Amino acid sequence: MLTQEIKEAIEGHIKYFGSKEEALLLSLHSIQEYLGHIPEEALEELSEILDIPLHHIKGVVAFYEMFDTGEKAKHRIYVCNSIVCYLLKSHKVFNAVKELLGIEPGQVTRDGMFKLVEVQCLGACSEAPVFMVDNDTYRYESKEKLHEILAKYS
């Protein structure tokens, strides 16, 4: 399940911290980045590499909301629905994504390209309504602009 590339990334994290426990969160980030989600088999392998019991790792994965054990998706669209974005009409972002991609929060497009995730504050409130695609933060301006942005992620 874990490719050579991912294993090298995990070894890199262990070396960076000099601690397997401290490397856990970054390792999970790497798995999700490379695989598009965090499958259970990957956790079993990770448990062996890090020498951390599987139940502990599963508990950690379940706790942090960015770690996704659900359906695989190449890109994640995080739409903020916290107070400031809500006041500045975050529903427009949800509607636009639904119109363009046909997905509601929690769903993945049929081709596995995008998953829509509803989140709390993304910390860019002056730009509200705000959304992120993978690692990039954007202000929502219009459906056309959103379409343009999403086209960059193929």
Partner 1 sequence: MKYLPNIANIHAETELNLLLKRAKRKRTADIKEYLKDGGYLALEKALSMKPEDIVEEVDNSNLRGRGGAGFPTGRKWKFCLQNEAPRYLVCNADESEPGTFKDRLILERDPHLLLEGIIISAYALGVNRAYIYIRGEYPAGYYILRNAIEEAKKEGFLGKNILNSGFDLEILVSRGAGAYICGEETALLNSIEGKRGHPRLKPPFPVQVGLWGRPTVVNNVETLSNIPIIINLGSEGYKEIGPMDYPGPKLFPVSGKVKKPGVYELPMNTTLREVIFKYAGGTIRNVPIKAVFSGALDCLSVNELDTPMDYSQFGFGGTGTVIVLTEEDDIVEACYKIAEFYKHETCGFCTPCRIGCHEQAYLLEKIVKDEATPKTWEGLRFVTKYIQPTSVCGLGAVASRLIKQAMEKFPEDFAKKEQMSFVNI
How do beta strands 114-119 and 75-80 pair? parallel
- 49 is a site residue for partner 1 (CB under 8 A): no
- 147 contacts 100 by C-beta, under 8 angstroms: yes
Site stretch for partner 1 (CB under 8 A), options 3-11, 97-105, 106-114, 115-123: 115-123
- 23 is a site residue for partner 1 (CB under 8 A): yes
- 129 contacts 90 by C-beta, under 8 angstroms: yes
Give the residue with the Cβ less far from partner 1, 12 or 100. 12
Interface residue with partner 1 among 34, 40, 48, 87 (CB under 8 A) is 87
- 125 is a site residue for partner 1 (CB under 8 A): yes
- 35 is a site residue for partner 1 (CB under 8 A): no
Interface residue with partner 1 among 5, 8, 21, 144 (CB under 8 A) is 21
In the chain, DSSP assigns E strands to: 75-80, 114-119, 130-133, 136-139
Interface residue with partner 1 among 6, 28, 79, 108 (CB under 8 A) is 28
Q: For the chain, how are helix, strand and coil distributed in percent, rounded to 5?
A: 50, 15, 40
- 149 is a site residue for partner 1 (CB under 8 A): no
**Residue 71's closest CA among 99, 110, 45, 126?**
110
- 67 is a site residue for partner 1 (CB under 8 A): yes
Q: Cα–Cα distance between 10 and 13 in angstroms, integer?
A: 5
Binding site for partner 1 (CB under 8 A): 16-17, 20-26, 28-29, 52, 56, 59-60, 63-67, 78, 81-84, 86-88, 119-128, 132, 134-139
